[in-house]
């Protein structure tokens, strides 16, 4: 991925590596779960850069193929946060009402567990004069989500 060649960390002294991404993923996952375990009186909307579910996952092969490895740069499997769970000493888990994500350059509006999952990423483009549309032909610049 270009990210691991271009992104820098540690005051620009070191390249961003997969272990940095994994550490950030674990921190974000812990934050999301913590928020979903807090008491609340209203609705909860989660916004993340990466997709919170595997999507149209590729069948896993042995050994893992290039496309399967690259999919992890765009998607995580956080479906366990999309259904209620009893109090395990940290509070009952009440999933988000809506989870919005981008990064995949695709449109999606589905329900997983008790959470509505929405993406309306336009992707790249348009690059005139050859390409007059966004990379994602299903992108809706007027999309409104009612919560």
pLDDT score, position 5: 76
**pLDDT higher than 80, residue 22:** yes
DSSP state of 82: G
pLDDT score, position 62: 54
Q: Distance between CA 4 and CA 25 in Å, rounded?
A: 15
**pLDDT higher than 70, residue 60:** no
Domain ranges of the chain: 3-120
pLDDT score, position 52: 96
- In contact, 96 and 84? CB cutoff 8 Å: no
The pTM (predicted TM-score) of the whole model is 0.84
User: In which region does residue 25 sit, left (phi positive, over 0), alpha (psi from -120 to 50) or beta (all else)?
Assistant: alpha
Closest CA to 82 of 118, 112, 48, 54: 112
Q: Distance between CA 119 and CA 112 in Å, rounded?
A: 13
């Amino acid at each position: 991925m270009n990210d691991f060649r271009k992104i820098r960390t540690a005051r620009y002294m070191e390249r961003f590596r997969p272990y940095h991404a994994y550490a950030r993923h674990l921190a974000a996952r812990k934050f999301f779960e913590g928020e979903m375990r807090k008491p609340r009186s209203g609705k909860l909307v989660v916004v993340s850069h990466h997709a919170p579910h595997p999507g149209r996952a590729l069948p896993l092969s042995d050994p893992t193929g290039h496309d399967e490895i690259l999919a992890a740069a765009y998607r995580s499997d956080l479906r366990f946060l999309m259904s209620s769970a009893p109090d395990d000493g940290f509070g009952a888990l009440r999933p988000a009402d809506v989870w919005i994500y981008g990064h995949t350059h695709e449109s999606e509006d589905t329900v997983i567990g008790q959470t509505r999952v929405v993406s309306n990423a336009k992707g790249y483009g348009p690059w005139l004069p050859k390409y007059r549309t966004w990379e994602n032909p299903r992108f809706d610049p007027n999309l409104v989500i009612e919560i």
